[in-house]
Amino acid sequence: MKQISEAVIQQECFNWFNNKYCLNHFEQSLIIHSVPNGINVNLPPSEMAKALDFLNKTGMKKGVSDLLIHGVNGRCIWAECKRPGEKQSEDQIKMENKVKKLGGIYFIFYSLDGFKEKISLYLPFLTTA
């Protein structure tokens, strides 16, 4: 059985959340967005080095979660996508610890159902003034 890619899992979760909670006709429209914190393209090494240098100089941070979800009063949740069985990198673990130390919410999800389960726990945090 072919394993689903992390990108597909993330896309499913983004689309579901965006369509359910972020469209303009909702009274309390939330925001979800990805954090493209890496490049996976076929560039020549010299061009890849330039691209990474540019991203680093403009604020790219290793370990930032794949998705950020914003709610009322500036509340934010960090959501990291992984394929089943995958583990966080050392940089991701450091970032999770830093976010939690600052009082933030950070969770890892492995599927659309797992994402929905976690979001249902935090929806009051995102939507209650």
The whole-model pTM stands at 0.88
Judge whether 1 lies within some domain: no
Judge whether 10 lies within some domain: yes
Here the CATH number for the domain that contains residue 16 is 3.40.1350.10
CA distances in angstroms from 116 to 10, 31, 67, 108, 127, listed in the order given: 12, 16, 14, 12, 16
Q: Per residue in 57-116, pLDDT tens?
A: 988 888 999 999 999 999 999 999 999 999 999 999 999 999 999 999 999 999 999 999
Cβ contact 20:120 at 8 Å: no
Range of the domain at 42: 6-127
The number of distinct structural domains making up the chain is 1
Tokens 């954090």 belong to which residue?
Answer: 35
